Structure 1
């Protein structure tokens, strides 16, 4: 199987060690600047451009580029092209140049060896992003371009003046001249200095002698020149106009009549047409991005391949020691490292390892069914790695192949396939499509580009200074986010959010929330902004109000209730030493853990978070505490403060599995918050019920005074439904007087009147009675304390249960009376 992509490498220039920017921080390394700037090239999709697949930053300012590759190039053609071939070559090259010019990019490296020809005989421009990614050549120490094909003005102007699109037109004119005259290469015998003088001498051509005709005479091709059609001569003469002002742009050249005069669509530039074997291999049906992603999983390593071919050579450290280092940092007598010199050799990357790795995969896996079932194609077939830990699944080539192919097809059908995307995302999300899957889970739809484009991101505001201070401190270990382009995108997206949400203010932590979306949608600011705009209302509704104290305090009170519900011993200990969530959990929830975890862990955490509702982060916080439970229980206040001053190591996969388990066994109403955004009516599946069976708002003071959460009547009715839960999951503790209890009570409830509890004790004990024994035997079930209305006794008795270490204790909101609305009260049976 022929290579589909290739690698190349070069070095960026290094900054002096003591140079700082205007903000007082060390300058960003040029290799990181190149890395961030070049990401946009990966989004280009054009039939006449080689796709950029990856940009890799190595050590010592090395940058490695991976791009689509075709073995055939214009330079390797055995014979000059005929007229139809020249016209097709010119038209497709101009089309590609016009496309990159529309993105403010100039090729500057246009030469026959950078014009590849694919198996269908079409032009594919290669290495067209080098001039752009290097900051118009300012970030590297070598000149960009082939002097033989370089326009004269490039040699004449200062190197700091950027070249425009018309330098590529000159280069194309020289290439067309070689093809039209049948010359393999112009001036082949000249050395570099002579070649530059020869190109500059073309300036002396006057109005009577065109550059094209002069070159034809110099190469003894006058008869060939005179036999060329005038339309072609006119085209080449236009490309070789000495004055750049008179030279047309690629877009203008496309309007020349020669392209209407000849029909060249069916002509193939390739010497070797497609073979049946190559086109029928199913790997060729995969997009290049998927192919490269799987190649790396199968053991592909760009750096090792470049090393094998001698492009990366190491020098013994002893040879790099300078003879003299001055106090101010100057280095003298250091041996020049020859390995850092420019070598633009292209190294094809073999796909054999990937092909062998996927050989056992059946053909049906390449085309999974997503809407219909088939007895022939078994779409339920699973890979052996399906039950392995997530970190292993993400590195398993065959498993990721199946997941990537499936998710690509599901995303192509979005929004009609949203339910299938959610179902598959519960298993895991392939990293290659994580950004698009997140957008689907957040229900991002509509013309997000227009919405973002219409948002003012440029006008200075009073928040700009704080944003500029926060960005250089946000996940700067990541090469993308620490690049200049990363900082610029951060600022634009944050300013857009502030502009679109005038009811909110910019709080520190918003930058951390933005980071995962920028990271996953680095080349699509509009998508990053749309995801952020959908994420905050869902999980952080009203958190960014100017006065958000009530919202934060309510959230932390609910977190305290969640801890008490699932782990009464830990809750009692934390309350006893005064280690309350206000001291450690605000950064967790204000940034949804994006401030306290590194990006790889955030991505896995949010994969699960986006599948849950606004209460799910509370269970993530609980799962974090559970991993450090033993340490917390054996520590005092000072030790706990020290422990959480820098969040200790967390097993994120265990954290997620624990949080899902907590979430699934907790009634939804126990985490009800009045500041949470109301779910859309379209998302409500339950039947409407009486308002008194639902939760109602409580003040922050009430929430903080209660140690246990409240449960709604609707949730209790659901738990008591024997058709859903044949084995009871809940036990109701009715604390009313025996007389009221005997009139009517909840099914399966027990009666422990509040009068049996001694509420005057500092640590009240459970009363000695048969009902308490039944209660203890049912430890692990949800224990619902129900009184008469919102009786304070129910809250106090629930706290007694909590202090005695009983888990899953909650209080029935509005008391036992609400069950009368459902006609659920029955005559109790004797114990």
Structure 2
């Protein structure tokens, strides 16, 4: 934790847990970190008996207590070492410290320990357990004294504490935590995988709890789909208490600040009660799902859905609207398990990921799936960490100023992206892109392009940056040059040709009234529609966009115009300007369907651009060319010439 810049600050026995395999787990260690070292909350973080003396002496400080140039000093790793010493002392003594003392007396006693030479002996005498302490091995007493050193400057850090000889004696029992190999790394992700000799036995045990083998993120997501409501659970347990603000005011207040009347509102204080969420409803929803659904075989000729006892029902579910499929618990379980297996086999199963993405992408797996579709590979975290995102560069002053202006306006309706932490992540990712692309510049709209990737990978900035860096050259090649006028103009010209090719009547009308794409389409393509649609629509739109090549955005633009066709044909220039200033509601599912049809009926020559990214000719045996679209009418990815000629000779073409 300390190596990642985190301090627990609330270390206590009831926050040290053990799982069924007797692995030690620390709980509730994020509160101090996520509240800006306690500044953002009105209560002290920690438990009086386990707080380090320097924490008690510092007290609770608010931003108003300090000048702008002075910030409260956060607790360091050594504060946790003191808490650890108290916990170890209690374990040796066999009972809790400071029983019978109120909070103020506990805090005063801890502060007086600074006058003592031997903190361990003083604590033992105070609690009548000096005989027990004397019987402890010398190595244990030495460790306790190190942890309970009053002055933090003399107290060891956790790293230094680990060098104590006591840990050398128990080293065979100590197993360091190894973080699992991430998806985008050179490490083997299945190096420690052990399977039974007969794999078919995996799903034969009727008493097996297959759900327990899934990650906590997957289980919680499915729990919510099955009807779980976390806020409702917390309200029922009285963790969340609502009270009108007027009822929280005191009845009588003196000038010196002393108040009489109502007690302090308990809803504003820390309540660290652990609430256990019941999985009964989720298990009941999944009772008909067989064990084999949790272990799908990744064969090249498999169907679009994993095999299960209710495979017919799942096959029928594919025909349902996407919004219904995304709320179906059983369907999402099957899709999540399948995509999880495929992504763990990436890039070997890249081709199959593309095929399954044509059916749909489970929302929980969307971030990693998009990365796979964009061909993100390699040590992305090392590359991102190597970029200097903090040092100001004189040449990017204009970019920094524009970023600061754009970020607060980007998707303000979303609580995550509009939060202070969201803004900080926006700055880092955008600054990293500007620094690592010296031949390009920041144009207004780049923040909107970053938003979907940052939202899906909020806790993985490196992946958000890698996805954005792969997305831009594929769909917006040279759009962010300092002088991009020739690129934009060519793009809009091709778009005009697309409108004329697919809807001559609408094209003629728009040309007659002078309503050209330059007036409305630049924000569409510069932000790939993220400036036009809210995030939930962008997710569905980009699920399909990422399966097509750089010409697919033209088809999306034409599909949007076709939904507005009747209103555009009936109006003149001024009315069209007003229409696009506040774009009407667009059916995004219909837009996706029509875009695919338009793409399949468009010859490649109609979307040729001189300034497009040169096609990549190389591909591995199991991969897919980045320029190869994955749409078809009759299992063919490229529209046939006779279909194009038939369309050219249709009566509607002029």
TM-score grouping bracket, smaller chain normalisation: 0.7 to 0.9
Alignment deviations for residues 52-100 of structure 1 (CA, whole Å, 9 cap, x no partner) = xxxxxxxxxxxxxxxxxxxxxxxxxxxxxxxxxxxxxxxxxxxxxxxx1
- Whether the 8 Å CA contact 1:323–1:333 is kept in 2: the answer is yes
- Structure 1: how far apart are the matches of 2:561 and 2:644? 26
The match for 2:437 is 501
Q: Which residue does the alignment assign to 2:9?
A: 108
* Offset from partner CA, 1:440-467 (integer Å, 9 cap, x none): 1111112222322333322232221112
1:489 corresponding residue in structure 2: 425
1:712 — aligned with what? none
Task: State the alpha-carbon separation in 2 of the partners of residues 115 and 242 from structure 1.
Answer: 24
Deviation at 1:556?
A: 1.2
Distance 1:188 1:420 in 2: 62
Q: Specify the alignment match of 2:20 in structure 1.
A: 119
Structure 1 partner of 2:80: 168
Identify the structure with bigger relative contact order (alpha carbons < 8 Å, sequence gap 6+): 1
> Among 461, 480, 484, which residue is 1:525 paired with?
461
| In the alignment, structure 1 residue 574 sits paired with structure 2 residue 495 | no
Residue 460 of structure 2 corresponds to residue 552 of structure 1: no
Q: What residue number does 1:648 align with?
A: 584
Deviating runs (4+, > 6 A) in structure 1? 320-324, 332-335, 372-375
Q: Does 1:216 align with 2:124?
A: yes
What is the aligned partner in structure 2 of residue 774 from structure 1?
Answer: none
**TM-score scaled to structure 2, two decimals?**
0.84
Provide the rounded CA distance (Å) in 1 between the counterparts of 2:135 and 2:333: 56
> Which residue in 2 is equivalent to 1:771?
none
Closer/same/farther in 2, CA of residues 265 and 444 from structure 1, 3 Å limit: same
Give a deviation string over 1:744-768, Cα, whole Å, max 9, x none.
Answer: xxxxxxxxxxxxxxxxxxxxxxxxx
Q: Does residue 343 of structure 2 align to residue 427 of structure 1?
A: no
Distance 1:374 1:649, change over 3 A: closer
User: Does residue 259 in structure 1 map to residue 194 in structure 2?
Assistant: no
Instruction: Give the counterpart of 1:662 among 598, 617, 622.
Output: 598
Tell me the CA shift for residue 381 of structure 1.
5.7
Q: Is 1:498–1:506's contact at 8 Å kept on the other side of the alignment?
A: yes
Tell me the distance in 2 between the aligned counterparts of 1:572 and 1:337: 67
CA contact (8 A) 1:620 1:659 kept: yes
TM superposition shift of 1:243: 1.4
Whole-Å separation in 2 of the counterparts to 1:435 and 1:649:
26
Q: Is the Cα contact below 8 Å between 2:602 and 2:639 reproduced in 1? A: no
CA contact (8 A) 1:111 1:149 kept: yes
Change (3 A) 1:335 1:645: farther
Aligned to 2:527: 591
Greater shift after overlay, 256-265 or 136-145?
256-265
CA distance, structure 2, for counterparts of residue 200 and residue 513 of structure 1: 53
SS at match of 1:313: coil
Give the 3 Å change call, closer, same or farther, for CA 469–176 of structure 1 in structure 2. Answer: same
2:385 maps to which of 453, 471, 492: 453
Name the count of aligned residue pairs: 584
Structure 1 residue 643 displacement after superposition? 0.3
Q: Do the aligned residues in 1 keep the contact of 2:602 with 2:644 (CA within 8 Å)?
A: no
Choose which of 121, 134, 150 in structure 2 pairs with 1:242: 150
Partner of 1:128: 29
Deviation at 1:248, TM superposition (A): 1.0
Asked if 1:782 corresponds to 2:647, the answer is yes
The DSSP-based 3-state class of the residue aligned with 1:729 is: helix
Among 365, 371, 374, the alignment partner of 1:442 is 374
Deviation at 1:280, TM superposition (A): 2.9
Residue equivalent to 1:190 = 101
* 1:285 partnered with 2:285: no
Q: How does 1:465-484 map to 2 (within 5 A)?
A: 465-484=401-420
Quote the residue 2:237 is aligned against.
309
Deviation at 1:615, TM superposition (A): 0.7
- Give the equivalent residue in structure 2 for 1:345: 273
The CA deviation at 1:591 is 0.8
Structure 2: where are the runs of 5+ without partners? Answer: 61-71, 176-204, 253-259, 622-635
Which position in structure 1 is the counterpart of 2:90?
178
- Map 1:272-421; keep pairs closer than 5 Å: 280-315=208-243, 319=247, 337-371=265-299, 378=307, 383=314, 384-421=316-353
Distance 2:244 2:418 in 1: 31
Residue number in structure 2 paired with 1:203: 114
Structure showing the higher strand proportion among its residues: 1
Instruction: State the SS of the aligned residue for 1:236.
Output: helix
Please state how far the C-alpha of 1:350 moved relative to its aligned partner: 1.0
Contact 2:317 2:331 in 1 (8 A): yes
Distance 2:493 2:99 in 1: 80
Deviation at 1:262, TM superposition (A): 3.6
Structure 1 residues 387, 719: closer, same or farther in 2, change over 3 A?
closer
* Residue 537 (structure 2) aligns with: 601
- How far 1:264 moved relative to its partner? 7.0
Q: Which residue in the other structure is 1:688 paired with?
A: none
| C-alpha distance in 1 between matches for 2:499 and 2:420 | 42
The answer for unaligned runs of 5 or more in structure 1 is 1-99, 268-276, 325-331, 686-714, 721-727, 732-780, 785-800, 810-831
Residue 505 of structure 1 and its aligned partner are, at CA, apart by 2.1
Deviations 1:187-225, CA, capped at 9 Å, x for gaps? 21111111112222222212xxx2222222222222221
Larger Rg over CA atoms: 1
Match of 2:472 among 523, 536, 546: 536
Q: TM-score, normalised by structure 1?
A: 0.67
**Deviation, structure 1 residue 613:** 0.6
